[in-house]
Homo-oligomer: A and B are copies of this chain.
Amino acid sequence: MTTSTSSKKILVNDCTLRDGMHALGHQYSVEQMVAVARKLDEAKVDIVEVSHGDGLQGNSFNYGFSAHTEREYIEAVRAELKYARLAALLLPGIGTRADIDEAKAMGVDTIRVATHCTEADVARQHIEHGRKLGLDTVGFLMMAHMTPTAELVRQAKLMESYGAHCVYVTDSAGALLMEETREKVGALREALECQVGFHNHNNLGLGVANTIVAIEAGADRVDGSVAGMGAGAGNCPLEVLIAVCERTGIATGLELYPLIDCADQIVRPLQRRPVQTDGNALMLGYAGVYSSFLLHTERAAERFGVDPRDILVELGRRGMVGGQEDMILDVAMELKSR
């Protein structure tokens, strides 16, 4: 299966400094970001993403205040990158087109516009705007496990029609099984002219496997984070992915040892809460819940004295998606009063 993919260079997008913000409650210091960015650039990562975990303007009461402003983070990392392109994430409704203008002015090359997997239409103006500005423009269909493949393809075609250079199957809950990943990525690859991407979380321990499956199914870009640094059980751990790609004969062009050094010496020591598939992170994947709900849920569980697993199962049952973070407290309160 790998022979068909072995000649294509896969683009690698690192999320350590964006999705990884979730794992730290958005508290990276600028120096920490710079140290990570230096190693990523040395490892020849194609694209380095920097934003609040919930994208540009996520720095807020509802999504959590970050230690520094977006400008401070982005400008510091921009100055560090010699090889890699710089990306930022934007969730329409949290960020606006004006934020894309500002991102471009700060030297961002790639804008990634993320919506729930059935709401591509709200990304229209942002994707069109990114294209107009000459940015590498990506559409991100989040919580992709929640919608049938045919509908996901329809949504992806909308994003392509707005001008996206690449549309992602985004497994925000880390809930996709391998066959589901193969089916969804393969269907997008078949239906689209533009690139297809894949982003996931390790909540079911399938982070690396599903990314390999996605590449086999035709993905052109894949995401990972050093030491998995991301929401929930973390993203696909980038250094592990690159080792497996090397053994599999998938061409990425990335260098393994700087990534391992970055994971062991810089990123893992920063993790206040180990980023791993422990019980609550596993339950995200099992219940199909947005990975960035993990820390919110653990705080709510402690505050109301309820089992975080029960909160997660209930959030999954109700089909809660990103933007409904305030419902976590409501669910915890309800469970408490039962």
B205 touches A277 (CB 8 A): no
A2 touches B179 (CB 8 A): yes
Interface status of A257 (Cβ within 8 A of chain B): yes
Copies of this protein, total: 2
Please pick, from B204, B244, B274, B309, the residue contacting A240 in the complex, using a CB distance under 8 A. B204
Known A205-B208, A208-B209; contact A282-B178, beta-carbon cutoff 8 A: no
Interface status of A132 (Cβ within 8 A of chain B): no
Complex CA distance for A214 and B260, rounded to whole angstroms: 29
Chain A contributes a number of interface residues (CB within 8 A of B) equal to 41
Q: Which B residues are in CB contact (< 8 Å) with A205?
A: 207-209, 237, 240-241, 244
Interface status of A264 (Cβ within 8 A of chain B): yes
* Residue among A209, A227, A248, A263 having the largest count of chain B Cβ atoms under 10 Å: A209
Q: Which B residues are in CB contact (< 8 Å) with A274?
A: 274, 276
Interface status of A268 (Cβ within 8 A of chain B): yes
A177 touches B248 (CB 8 A): yes
Interface status of A206 (Cβ within 8 A of chain B): yes
Residues of A within 8 A of B (CB): 1-2, 175, 177-179, 204-210, 212, 227, 237, 239-241, 243-244, 246-248, 256-257, 260-261, 263-264, 268, 274, 276-279, 282-283, 285-286, 309
